Structure 1
Amino acid sequence: MDANLAAPPVLSTANDDVFQASAETGPRSQLSDEELRVRYEIARTAAEIREGAWTRIALQFPDHMLVDAPRAVELLEGELQICPDGEGAVARRIHILADTSYSACCVDEVAAEHVDADVVVHYGRTCLSPTSRLPVIYVYTSHALDHEAVARAFEAETTSTG
């Protein structure tokens, strides 16, 4: 301990300091709205949610797709606002499930139950393990194929070196 201390150290922030919100630093999706609509099958998902009359929806994204989750939710909410056949607006809550307790291919019913979900929308690859408590909408997602990269990889595998 320093024997030269004349007063206790200041352990608080001065009154003239202003706290400001930090700038968003997380990764952002590079896909256009149309690419997101196609990749995450927004129209089909909304149609199935309407058909099931579900109001508490859990969206389960694998880690590598979480960057798209906020915008996918916005697009899904927008699609669900469209009322076909004169159907009135229905209040729905959409929850994003992340950091699944199991492998990303398995539906995380436990996390979905924590948000009292009626249905889980599972994105990405799946093992199709049966669920016991909740209905599931599977969206396998579609990704663009980089033809040049495939051709290069094929050539690298098939070209003889000697």
Structure 2
Amino acid sequence: MASTMKEAEKPIRKVRTIKRAPKKNAIPPEILNDPDLASAISSLPNAYNFEIHKTVHRLRLSGSSHLALQMPEGLLMYGPVLSDIFSRFTPVLSVVIQGDVTYGACCVDDLGAQAMGCDFLVHYGHSCLVPLSKTVVPCLYVFVEIRVDSDHAAECLKRTIPRGSKVSVMGTVQFRDAIFSCMSNLTLAGHPCVVPQAKPLSPGEVLGCTAPRGLYDEGLGEGEQCMLFIADGRFHLEAAMIANPRLKAYRYDPYGKVLTEEGYEFGRMVELRDKAIGDAEDAEVFGVILGTLGRQGNPAILNKVLGVLRDRGKKTFVVLLSEIFPAKLDMMPQADAWVQIACPRLSIDWGHYFTKPILSPYELYRMVGEVEKKEGVYEMDFYEKGENNYWSNFGGDNAKRGG
């Protein structure tokens, strides 16, 4: 009885209800369900995801008054429409469309936006390469993902390669969803699939200067493995082929809906670059170019390059250039050779058009003997994280971009 009384005397615990505050980044219903905004968005192509609702929400939260929009030339036609939408549905007082050439995410021009008095930048068409903590104005990256017929891409490849062939699926960031859809489709059809990653890029994402490597499986024959690359051009695909020269490459053009087998003269490229490295060995005066197109140039790499050259008794001078052309460098005949800290593909693709050798940072380290040449390997890691790739933007402490 006493025990029963004690049980009865125990206080009843109250149930406490915890109400969580709405997530700051959650887009509110009044934006998602705004019929006028939906009508304005309908003037943009349905297949392109410009993430308008998200951008409107971010601009309202930020309190920004002067907005800059930056995009590659293929999207510039939509710039005026985007400008009208943000002028109408956000508190911004002015919108500037940046018209300078934009080759990739390395060209994000937060410095230019700041110089024009803008306090927010939306960069379209590329992933976030330059950390948001390093931009001088708040920046929003919009991939502009594009809906494509991924089933058709997978079906084309299935009819082309032997059943059971291993497939590495990659592409540009706009087709990220299609990459994973193709992987699922091909896996169900009996093809072992991988979506490789070169961190900090997204899985399957390839840049013109950075691509996953080591994809060739020595345990399989050349006819039993390949890469499927989803893109409308060859520039990014070539980076994947340079990084994996033994892997057969197929490119699916999502606009023309055509699958093609692609080739790259890897041996010829290496031969040309070896010659440039050899020709630069006897140079006494080096011109060192820091690219100023957006954030292409990294001051931390510049300082290391200057140190490497000066430690070996070389004379140096620094040139700032937004774009690098042979005629421009010919105006400075004092240089016996050049090192450019902008885009390694400039040296690889067009180096033989220049009067003097023009090396990438990786090639400079090859020249001075700090990096050994490896047969069948050419580094495509300019934006890949690593401890020993000190010529790259994320190698060692280069991500600090100190100057």
Q: What range is the shorter-chain TM-score in?
A: 0.5 to 0.7
TM-score (norm 2): 0.27
Deviations 1:2-60 (A, max 9, x none): xxxxxxxxxxxxxxxxxxxxxxxxxxxxx952646962111110110110100011011
**Range that drifts further, 42-51 or 104-113:** 104-113
- State the partner residue of 1:99: 100
Partners of 2:47 and 2:153 lie apart in 1 by: 25
> CA separation in 1, counterparts of 2:119 and 2:151?
43
Aligned to 1:11: none
The reply on whether 1:140 has 2:150 as its aligned counterpart is: no
* Distance of 2:155 and 2:47 partners within structure 1: 30
Question: What does residue range 24-63 of structure 1 map to in structure 2 within 5 Å?
Answer: 32-33=42-43, 35=45, 39-63=49-73
**4+ runs deviating over 3 angstroms:** 34-38
Quote the Cα distance in structure 2 between the aligned partners of 1:37 and 1:97.
Answer: 24
Contact 1:37 1:75 in 2 (8 A): no
Q: Distance in 2 between matches of 1:36 and 1:79?
A: 20
CA distance in 2, matches of 1:39, 1:95: 21
- Aligned residue type for 2:71: F
Deviation at 1:159, TM superposition (A): 4.9
| Closer/same/farther in 2, CA of residues 144 and 37 from structure 1, 3 Å limit | closer
**Equivalent in the alignment of 1:10:** none
For structure 1, the 5+ residue unaligned runs are 1-30, 81-89
Q: Distance in 2 between matches of 1:37 and 1:94?
A: 25
In structure 2, the gaps of 5 or more residues are 1-40, 164-222, 224-403
Q: d(CA) in 2 for partners of 1:92 and 1:70? A: 15
Tell me which protein shows more strand as a share of its residues: 2
Alignment partners' CA distance in 2, 1:46 and 1:38? 17
Count of residues in Structure 1 that have an aligned counterpart in Structure 2 = 121
Q: Do residues 70 (structure 1) and 80 (structure 2) align?
A: yes
Q: What residue in structure 2 maps to residue 158 of structure 1?
A: 161
Compare relative contact order (CA 8 Å, sep 6+) and give the higher one, 1 or 2: 1
CA contact (8 A) 2:47 2:146 kept: no
Deviates more, 1:107-116 or 1:46-55: 107-116
Tell me which structure has the larger Cα radius of gyration.
2
Distance 2:128 2:84 in 1: 27
CA deviation vs aligned residue, 1:50-95 (integer Å, no higher than 9, x gap)? 1010001101111211121111222222322xxxxxxxxx451111
Match of residue 6 from structure 1:
none
Q: Distance in 2 between matches of 1:47 and 1:54?
A: 11
- RMSD, aligned CA: 2.9
Question: Structure 1 residues 46 and 36, CA, compared in 2 at 3 Å: closer, same or farther?
Answer: farther
SS at match of 1:138: strand
Query: Identity over aligned residues, as a percent?
Result: 25
Q: Distance in 1 between matches of 2:57 and 2:118?
A: 17
What is the rounded CA distance, in whole Å, between the counterparts of 2:156 and 2:53 in structure 1?
35
Cα shift at 1:149: 4.1
- Counterpart residue identity of residue 143, structure 1: I
When residues 45 and 149 of structure 1 are mapped into structure 2, their CA distance, relative to the original with a 3 A threshold, is: same
1:93-142 deviations in whole A, cap 9, x for unaligned?
A: 11111224x64213212321232110111111124212341111111112
Structure 2 distance, partners of 1:45, 1:37, is 18
State the distance in 1 between where 2:62 and 2:147 align: 30
